[in-house]
């Protein structure tokens, strides 16, 4: 039970930090820097999730929960703004900030888990 609580608390805290990162750094930053920072955030979340899984070694369902929570947190601005309020000319930027962090998280998490590269 403490493992489940830790996952939920980590997800909530990570979500608020991601929103702060989006508002204060990602949205005002130029596009190349925004993408690099978003990818770095996603890699950091993957590395943190991997390290936590190595330390705790929970059952499979909790590992899946950690992956799902990490994927949710890896997209820094997820559910921060209503999709229909984004102007059409900014929609591509918004889609990049969803797709790139999720892709970086999923690939990084898989590589770290399957190669067991400890960080």
Question: What would the pLDDT profile of 50-75 be if each residue is shown by its tens digit?
Answer: 998 888 888 889 889 999 999 999 98
CA–CA separation, 10 vs 12, rounded Å? 6
Domain layout of the chain by residue ranges:
2-115
pLDDT tier, 45 (very low <50, low <70, confident <90, very high otherwise): very high
Q: Please determine, for residue 82, whether its predicted confidence score (pLDDT) is greater than 80.
A: no
CA–CA separation, 109 vs 43, rounded Å? 8
pLDDT tier, 95 (very low <50, low <70, confident <90, very high otherwise): confident
pLDDT tier, 106 (very low <50, low <70, confident <90, very high otherwise): very high
Task: Name the burial class of residue 28, with classes exposed (0-12), middle (13-18) and buried (19+) by CB atoms within 10 angstroms of its CB.
Answer: exposed
- What is the average per-residue pLDDT within 76-81? 72
């Amino acid at each position: 039970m403490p493992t489940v609580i830790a996952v939920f608390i980590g997800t909530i805290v990570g979500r608020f930090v991601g929103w702060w990162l989006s508002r204060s750094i990602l949205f005002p930053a130029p596009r190349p820097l925004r993408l690099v920072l978003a990818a770095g955030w996603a890699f950091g979340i993957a590395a943190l999730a991997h390290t936590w899984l190595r330390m705790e070694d929970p059952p499979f369902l909790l590992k899946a929960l950690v992956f799902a929570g990490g994927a949710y947190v890896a997209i820094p601005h997820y559910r921060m703004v209503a999709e229909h309020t984004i102007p059409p000319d900014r929609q591509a930027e918004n889609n990049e900030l969803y797709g790139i962090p999720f892709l970086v998280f999923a690939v990084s998490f898989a590589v770290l888990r399957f190669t067991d590269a400890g960080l």
